Structure 1
Amino acid sequence: MWVTAFHALLPFDDPGITSNTSGLPGLEQLRTIVGAMLTFSLVACVAALVASAVVWGFGSNSGNPHLAGRGKTGVVVAAGAALLIGASNAIITFFSNAGSLI
């Protein structure tokens, strides 16, 4: 009920504004920088995953459950971060397209 009242109060006409790729100087350089950050972040996730796996292994072999638990947590966090970083372009595109449908 409140949604229809909200729609009645505000006009939802399309203002005709769309994103463009030529309106901002330096956009290509920004894309290059962000792409380099993406690559650097993925390499850092691989390094974190390897280091966490080593800690997990040392903790398991030495009988130290705290160290093994920290290693497991590091592996999960590094894998999750790599998943989010790798899928970031698809996630942003999905939500941008979903937002343009409203």
Structure 2
Amino acid sequence: MNVFPDFDGLGGIGDLREVIGALLTFVLIIAVLMLIVCAVIWAIASSNGNQVAATKARVGAWTAVGAAVLAGGGVAWMNWLISLGDQL
């Protein structure tokens, strides 16, 4: 039995895919920029002894890494689920 979602069942699904792809690209670019800024602030604050700013920058850096992992991993997970459904 071949179980696979009907992606053509909804009108405008191609436009929705383009919008989601653009949003995913936007999220990944912002996450990388946020990671760079937070890492620089973390380094400067740590070297100057400002532990409050260093802690906030560290939290921001880990948040950026988490956002990038979730955004990138979501696509891989969805593709894995689709291929798993195809094997049922």
Q: Calculate the TM-score normalised by the size of structure 1.
A: 0.71
Consecutive unaligned residues in structure 1, runs of 5 or more: 1-16
Contact 1:46 1:78 in 2 (8 A): yes
State which structure, 1 or 2, has the greater radius of gyration over its C-alpha atoms.
Answer: 1
Contact 1:56 1:72 in 2 (8 A): yes
- Report how many aligned residue pairs link the two structures: 87
Determine what percentage of the aligned residue pairs are the same residue. 34
Q: Calculate the TM-score normalised by the size of structure 2.
A: 0.81
Asked which structure has the greater RCO (Cα within 8 Å, sep 6+), the reply is 2
What is the match of residue 37 of structure 1? Answer: 23
Q: Displaced runs of 4+ in structure 1, greater than 4 A?
A: 95-102
Shift in Å, 1:86:
0.8
Calculate the aligned-residue CA RMSD, in Å: 2.1
Consecutive unaligned residues in structure 2, runs of 5 or more: none
Q: Point out the structure with the larger helix share.
A: 2
